[in-house]
Structure 1
């Protein structure tokens, strides 16, 4: 580690020109010859460390290493793509787009870069550019379920509901275990008044979900079921949903997950029901205990 730090410090000195203009000649240290392979090796090591830190949710440290890696291997599109992804995960959208644009310039035929760029534009709420980027990626690598789902989301936020539904259906057709497109079609169907179809789609989503990610369709199904008259079943589903993940009791979080105005209004009333409020309180208490050190 100390050798690596010394090496990087030397590189920075060389880049700045400080080491070429010594005031006193005999104070100039010996500078080792740095070949391209050595720089590439050091850059790849830093990139690997960055990815490992990102997996541990240590984004500040991961970004620092990825930025250093871009200085050592600036013509490597992967390092710019990773840096862009890290910025995106850390909600630094403009920096993410700048890094991903560099990655794209270096490797314009890499679909993953286009997909990541599409996500960055989506987070920036620039939906036309999100659609354009995702379509460009899908032109290079068609039928990627996650990318199709993201494109459907961009269509939905652009008000293009028919295009969104068609894209979601295509995403689901690629992977029948990937239930998220069905869930979002349900969101659209509910907003246009087709509650019966929304309920059918949310039931399919709940059946396909195997872990806490199923909290979203379960809560949507609970609200719709309660509204259509089966109040006891709706309350049971609602209690189960908020116990799986209490974040879905937060209206802001629901809006971030593309819930429409009509469903939001119904959910706000549902979350105020005594049994649901009690389940939310219990869920938050359990989650808090799970985070507490022992």
Structure 2
């Protein structure tokens, strides 16, 4: 509905406007609705807080309408736009996420987290160079952020700048020695390059850091089995899939940046009767 008709409806509801009567000697003096912008903004921030809480519990269908309304009531608050963009990102509405996050960045260009989120939205749309630009801009503001460094590494990985990707992963680990996803991804690159032993060492390190990390455990299992250590490979593979069965899906593995060589070996591994039996038990 056009904005004009919304205003008229609001005036009618509030009793501040009625159908015009025939004018005689005096012209009709229009009434105007006085809006308390501070009060509206306060209501918007309250709605944003509700939306954030709902988002934490992944209740996005309830969170999004509140966040949208909050952005209308508090349009100059960059945090509200950041929240709205983040919710759209979680629901994979990437165009809407980019629009909201761009507005947040316009209002506050010094928030590195907004730039990192923009990078994620562009990355998910396979706009890797745009994502790299976002990550680089975020890291200028927050240069030692492990996740930002990791994300930039992923961007480099996807455009084939493998040495640059490894450098960023190593920087992420230098900032957080327990940041196993960066260690895992170094292994992914090394495996594709044919350096299987080095890749396995990376995955062993990642598993040592987090015994519930299914991805490096499955990658290690696939590498061991392919290399000839079948019994240990099968045992580790069963353990990995008990932790997280999503890794039995090749599309999911590809989303997690598994390369062609590792995917090919994983496909054979996942089709093994013992692994299939383990999946059926789950």
TM-score, normalising length from structure 2? Answer: 0.90
Residue 24 in structure 1 maps to residue 19 in structure 2:
yes
Aligned residue in 1 for 2:216: 217
Flag structure 1 segments of 5+ consecutive residues without an equivalent: 1-11, 284-294
Matches within 5 A, 1:150-189: 150-189=151-190
Paired with 1:32 and 1:17, the residues of 2 have a C-alpha distance of: 10
Paired with 1:244 and 1:194, the residues of 2 have a C-alpha distance of: 27
Paired with 1:48 and 1:34, the residues of 2 have a C-alpha distance of: 22
- Tell me the C-alpha RMSD between the 2 structures: 1.9
Q: CA deviation at 1:120?
A: 0.7
Greater C-alpha radius of gyration: 2
Paired with 1:60 and 1:143, the residues of 2 have a C-alpha distance of: 35
Aligned residue in 1 for 2:273: 274
Aligned residue in 2 for 1:240: 239
Aligned residue in 1 for 2:140: 139
Secondary structure, aligned partner of 2:280? helix
Check the 8 A contact 1:75/1:106 in 2, yes or no.
yes
Check the 8 A contact 1:271/1:277 in 2, yes or no.
yes
Secondary structure, aligned partner of 1:259? coil
Secondary structure, aligned partner of 2:99? helix
Q: What do the CA deviations read for 1:192-239 (whole angstroms, capped 9, x no partner)? A: 00000000000000111143xx11000000010111121111111011
Paired with 1:220 and 1:25, the residues of 2 have a C-alpha distance of: 76
Q: CA deviation at 1:282?
A: 1.4
Check the 8 A contact 2:192/2:259 in 1, yes or no.
yes
1:125 and 1:202, CA in 2 relative to 1: closer, same or farther beyond 3 A? same
Q: CA deviation at 1:39?
A: 1.4
Flag structure 2 segments of 5+ consecutive residues without an equivalent: 22-30
Count the aligned residue pairs: 267
Q: CA deviation at 1:269?
A: 0.4
Check the 8 A contact 1:222/1:233 in 2, yes or no.
yes
Aligned residue in 2 for 1:260: 259
Segments of 4+ in structure 1 off by > 3 A? 12-23, 30-34
Matches within 5 A, 1:93-172: 93-172=94-173
Q: CA deviation at 1:34?
A: 3.8
Q: CA deviation at 1:17?
A: 4.3
Secondary structure, aligned partner of 1:236? helix
Matches within 5 A, 1:20-99: 22-24=17-19, 33-99=34-100
Secondary structure, aligned partner of 1:182? helix
Check the 8 A contact 2:11/2:33 in 1, yes or no.
no
Paired with 2:186 and 2:74, the residues of 1 have a C-alpha distance of: 43
Check the 8 A contact 1:13/1:19 in 2, yes or no.
no
Q: CA deviation at 1:15?
A: 6.2
Q: What do the CA deviations read for 1:34-82 (whole angstroms, capped 9, x no partner)? A: 4232112101110001001111111121110000001100000011111
